[in-house]
Amino acid sequence: MSANDDDDDKNPIEQFDEDDEEMKKRRKTLTRKIDCRILPMICIIYLVSYLVRSNIANAKLAGLEADLKITANEYLWSLSIFFVGYTLFEVPSNIVLRRWRPSRWLAVIHMALGIVSMCMGAVQNAAGLLACRFFLGVIEAGLFPGIVYYLSIWYPRKQQAVRVGLFWSISALSGAFSGILAYGISQIGSSSMGKWRLIFIIEGAPNIIVAILCWFLLPDSPEKAKFLNDEERQLKIDSLAEDAGPTKEEKFSWSQVFSVFKDWKAYFYAIIYITGLIALQGITLSLPVIIKEFGTWTTLQTQLMTIPPNMAAFFVILIVSRSSDYFMERSLHTTFVNLFAICGFLMLIFVDEKQVGVLYAGIILAAIGVYSSVSVRTAWYNNNFASLTRRATASAMIVSIGVSGGIVSGQIYSDKQKPRYIIGHTISLVCMTVQTILVIILRCVLMIINKRRKQMSDEQIQQEVDKYGGEESVGDRHPKFQYTL
């Protein structure tokens, strides 16, 4: 009897199971291959960019305020004005990314980031610092939502949280790395240049190198990926089409862009994003300053003490993101990690100032909470907007509106609150509490919508599809599309 005869004699169900297992192995192998090509580049991209965004706190410790003779209020506005530019140019940047090649646009962003950061090392007054921080926000506006959208081109919904978590965890890692790097830079002897200037110049330069790497090494999409063979390319295209379900889109459409601005989900997610970002950026931009007030620390001790909170956040981001993908669940994971932040801020507000160890534990819990929910809730809204154009626009719009909270976060930890920063911690506590409530409400609403969609008849489904312009335009509003909870 031949091998083919043996195959013919097999139970059809067993044959199907074997084929299914073989397909899973092929997809798993392909995913690892894509991971090895995409994720290292994405992590490097975000590491060098986040150093540029957040190094102003380290520059402050290295003498920025004294050398430029800027007031405490001017310094706070240098933090806030970054988010003005960020908010204004988020959506336009992602539209360019959607219509152009991601490798080219991300390269342009990084080249500009490097140039502006190094220019910050040459400013002579508050006006120059404010101008550079504004343009830094304008340039970096497209980076975070752009990377989130770019990952959605390559990975199905159930694989996105851990990938978003991986590159987002780099922001926490950069916070730890930034403290060490800033201290190392401050040890460079220079009689003609302030040490804070060196921080801006040395941390900005790698962005230019990354721009070149993006231009030549970053693949644009599975359809155009030269590192995949024809079989692998088709397998990836098929798996993404399967994940998209009933949603279809062949080309860019302005009607799809405008449809996002009429979608209530976008605004709900944006409010959730705002509340989280106020607390996150408040901590990120002020962590060295907050820790310094716990005791009589030297600059070296302060820089080193920023490492444990950031490292703790780094590991929890990866754990929570992996769990979120494994269970294909977003809202309860967000709620869980938010409780860390709420507990941390309560400790910072109510624990006696003499209990330095407890206060330090509070700042670690707060950092874990505000950092680790970002990747999960980002994957959440990315999962719930279907079609490439709607997803790219929604990602930019939500982050754009949400990042406006950064204008507030730059003001909440003022020097007038030393040494406890009670007002700043209270605002952050309220924001994380409100966000948690909103997340639970949104989960309940989406559950109701999913249930109603399952009960719709074929006629009702077709009416709903026609209402939004047909299969090409309906996207996640398709009644057969089930929202991720």
pLDDT score at 2: 46
- The number of domains in the chain is 1
Domain contains 367: yes
Range of the domain at 156: 35-477
pLDDT score at 3: 45
Domain contains 46: yes
Question: How does DSSP assign 366-391, residue by residue?
Answer: HHHHHHHHHHHHHHHHHHTS-SHHHH
Q: Using CA atoms, how far apart are residues 93 and 263, in angstroms rounded to an integer?
A: 20
> Both tokens of residue 74?
């001017």
Report pLDDT digits (tens) over 290-330: 888 887 787 778 877 888 898 898 899 889 998 998 898 99
pLDDT score at 13: 44
Domain contains 93: yes
> Both tokens of residue 449?
């919508």
pLDDT score at 441: 97
Domain contains 220: yes
Q: Crossing angle of helices 422-454/264-292, nearest 10°?
A: 150
User: Which residue type is seen at 438?
Assistant: L
pLDDT score at 16: 44
Domain contains 18: no
Handedness of CA 238, 242, 247, 253 (dihedral sign): negative
Domain contains 15: no
pLDDT score at 361: 94
Radius of gyration of the chain (CA): 24
Domain contains 190: yes
Contact criterion met (CB below 8 Å) for 210 and 48:
yes
**Model pTM greater than 0.85?**
no
User: Which residue type is seen at 239?
Assistant: S
Q: Using CA atoms, how far apart are residues 269 and 330, in angstroms rounded to an integer?
A: 13
Q: Which residues of the chain have pLDDT under 70?
A: 1-19, 175-176, 179, 189-192, 244-252, 410
HEC string of 317-369 equals: HHHHHHHHHHHCCCHHHHHHHHHHHHHHHHHHHHCCCCCHHHHHHHHHHHHHH
pLDDT score at 350: 94
Domain contains 191: yes
User: Which residue type is seen at 337?
Assistant: V
Q: Using CA atoms, how far apart are residues 80 and 289, in angstroms rounded to an integer?
A: 16
Domain with residue 157: its CATH number is 1.20.1250.20
Contact criterion met (CB below 8 Å) for 94 and 146:
yes
